[in-house]
A and B are shown apart, each in its own frame.
Chain A
Amino acid sequence: MPPAANDKGVAMVAPELLKPAPLTSPVAVEMTKVNKWYGNFHVLRDVDLEVARGEKIVICGPSGSGKSTLIRCINRLEEHQEGRIVVDGVELTDDLGRIDEIRRDVGMVFQHFNLFPHLTILENCTLALIWVRRMPKRDADEIAMHYLRRVRIPEQADKYPGQLSGGQQQRVAIARALCMSPKIMLFDEPTSALDPEMVKEVLETMERLASDGMTMLVVTHEMGFARQVADRVIFMDRGEIVEMNDPESFFTNPRHERTKLFLGQILR
């Protein structure tokens, strides 16, 4: 067991291990005329987007509208074919070293958690610290326990992902991403695969993260979360940004017909 496991709710991690990772640039993500195709299918069309430091953005839209692809381009799980993507002042190119650098600074949470089933919860969280950040196991354990306390499941540290509920697994996935002290967090439909009873605990975790000032891009259909947390809501359809507004205006006064239709479908 790591030394910090005697959980009293108090952080016992040496502060220098939890250095905040401030964005060096005031613009966290800048996308200019980004285009992408899957074969002949035009999935992203001339997407322009600027995300400021500390901004929380919710992206919604029908399935196949390219919203997941959009955020997956930011840590280059997908490659864009035209246009520019600049993440914290670094442009995404084919330079492999640069991509690893970006991925270290951009955390991602997936719809299906993608935890490593052969590793314990603690090992899931420490893996990248030990192998990517080259941190001694002791320090990595401390950091992991710190974030597991923050997502409120330190007592599950020695279990395997298969033994946890969906909501707990997703919170582990958030803790795993946070361990790398990311500058930006991407969420790809983090609650879509969860039982209704589990959604709240994950959304609360994300709300706490938002109130700590994290830069967040969230693909979700949780409109309550969007209203409460987002600085901007983006609606996408057919690979294009159709409408973008602050949540209040977006929900009460959508302007584009497609947006009105979509909101009419989901807000009954």
Chain B
Amino acid sequence: MSDAIRTSTPIFVRESMTADRAPPVSNAGPAAWIRDNLFPTPLSSVITLLALLFLAWALPPLVRWLFIDAIWSAPNGDLCRAPGAGACWAYVWQKLGFFMYGSYPREEVWRVNLVLLSGAALVVWMLWPDARGRGGAALAFFTVYPVLAFGILTGSAPFPTRWLPTSGTGQLLWAFLYVVLIAGAGTLFYTGRLTALAMAMIGFVAWAEIGAWWPTLGLSHVGTNLWGGIFVSLLVATVGIVFSLPIGIVLALGRRSQMPIVRFLSVLLIEFVRGVPLITVLVMANTMLPLFVPQDWSPDRLLRPLIGVALFSAVYMAEVVRGGLQAIPKGQYEGAMAVGLSWWQMMQLIVLPQALVTVIPGIVNSFIALFKDTTLVAIVGIFDFLKAVETARLDPVWAGPSISTSGYVFAAFFYFVFCFGMSRYSLMMERRHAAGRKR
């Protein structure tokens, strides 16, 4: 028992509620900020001073080399070889076409530009958060665009025309198939059911038609052996990114499947491909893929590393997505099942949207790694951007130590811009998805 002596029980009843008050004003301003953030403790002050010293030591020569002493225009490497000369931007400017397109015929590079610009426009449209018709842009980018891009870049028909029969009966059969497909697509479209199948049928007919009509455009054939530079790096990265995510999702779902064989095959593929270096995957894709298929079907030399890169990043993606799937509480599955959704609907509408948003940082991390890994396709003879920089420095007109360095600095700048852009975009998407949706 307490020894406290009270004369009466303390009674309290509030008579009026206290009104809100503004928080106390903090001593803001630049001086306070510097004190709080740069010199809060003696140790922090020492570190701040050391950092400032380092910057004072490193920055001026760097700025001088990059900008002040840099050679901005020159007919050849003589100026850049002079003592005290900085970066040789004249060389980068001179070789820009080679960096961009590799050995793609100069009079045909408009085709590459057309494909790159239209692709960039579609990507920006598709990824712009509040743009109208994003779904349409995505559909175009993933279906029509690759076919047309292939046709424009190679100059060959974007449809394997040897499938088209030439004999009389063959053409009759072909015409019959057309009538069936168009009539079927029309019916399906009209009744509103299986719209996707109807679109696929229309797409097939359109594809074949364009394929038959394509050669009349008179585009010259440009083999993939002439492709190179930034354009090929972007192509490999885009194909890798576009394929790695869906394949990764399928593998992640397979790994968590109840079906033992599906699970075993997924685990086998993931662990096998993840367990070997990318270079090994590329070399295997290059030498072994042709052995698995008939000689006529032997994949193009550019297609082989594309498959290798996509597969390699897909298995990493699978593990990232699996992490996201594991973060979804069991109650979400039960809620989805209880309202009667099927397994596919549950995955598509409830589980994957939440899982993928959870792992946006991991997904973009994989994309960034993939983007830089594209430089490794040079090992199997693909002339990517870094290989172009490597080759250009052998030109005797532009030989010189600071000239070579300038090329590499430019390459570093290019990779940094793209990776940093991806990183910023993912941060923006994370913030948008986080708003108002906390669990």
A contact residues vs B (CB 8 Å cutoff): 75, 77, 100, 103-104, 106-108, 110, 112-118, 127-128, 131-132, 159-160, 162-163, 176-177, 180
| Cβ–Cβ < 8 Å partners of A116 in chain B | 332, 335-336, 350, 354
Which residue of the partner chain A has the closest CB to B346? Answer: A131
Rounded to whole Å, the gap between the CB of A90 and the closest CB of chain B is 14
A104 and B339 alpha carbons, distance in the complex (Å): 6
Is B345 an interface residue when CB atoms closer than 8 A count as contact? yes
Which residue of the partner chain B has the closest CB to A130? Answer: B349
Q: Is the CB of A128 within 8 A of B339?
A: yes
A77 in contact with B338 given A118-B353, A127-B349 (CB within 8 Å)? yes
| Cβ–Cβ < 8 Å partners of B332 in chain A | 114, 116
Q: Is the CB of A117 within 8 A of B339?
A: no
A38 and B37 alpha carbons, distance in the complex (Å): 56
B contact residues vs A (CB 8 Å cutoff): 331-332, 334-342, 345, 349-350, 353-354, 357, 433, 436-439
Count of CB-CB pairs between chains A and B under 8 Å: 67
**Closest A-B pairs by Cβ, 10 of them:** A114-B335, A128-B339, A114-B331, A108-B338, A104-B340, A162-B438, A103-B340, A132-B340, A117-B439, A160-B436
Rounded to whole Å, the gap between the CB of A8 and the closest CB of chain B is 28
| Cβ–Cβ < 8 Å partners of B436 in chain A | 159-160, 162-163
Q: Is the CB of B338 within 8 A of A118?
A: no
Q: Is the CB of B437 within 8 A of A103?
A: no
| Cβ–Cβ < 8 Å partners of A163 in chain B | 436
Q: Is the CB of A75 within 8 A of B341?
A: no
Which residue of the partner chain A has the closest CB to B338? Answer: A108
A177 in contact with B338 given A116-B332, A162-B436 (CB within 8 Å)? yes
A127 in contact with B339 given A117-B438, A160-B436 (CB within 8 Å)? yes
For this complex, 14 residue pairs linking A to B, each with C-beta atoms less than 8 Å apart, are: A100-B340, A103-B339, A108-B338, A110-B334, A110-B335, A114-B338, A116-B336, A127-B339, A127-B349, A128-B341, A132-B345, A162-B439, A163-B436, A176-B339
Q: Is the CB of B334 within 8 A of A77?
A: yes
A108 and B335 alpha carbons, distance in the complex (Å): 8
Rounded to whole Å, the gap between the CB of A36 and the closest CB of chain B is 17
A100 and B344 alpha carbons, distance in the complex (Å): 13
Q: Is the CB of A118 within 8 A of B437?
A: yes
| Cβ–Cβ < 8 Å partners of B337 in chain A | 75, 77, 103
Q: Is the CB of B338 within 8 A of A107?
A: yes
Q: Is the CB of A114 within 8 A of B340?
A: no
Rounded to whole Å, the gap between the CB of A5 and the closest CB of chain B is 19
| Cβ–Cβ < 8 Å partners of B439 in chain A | 117, 162
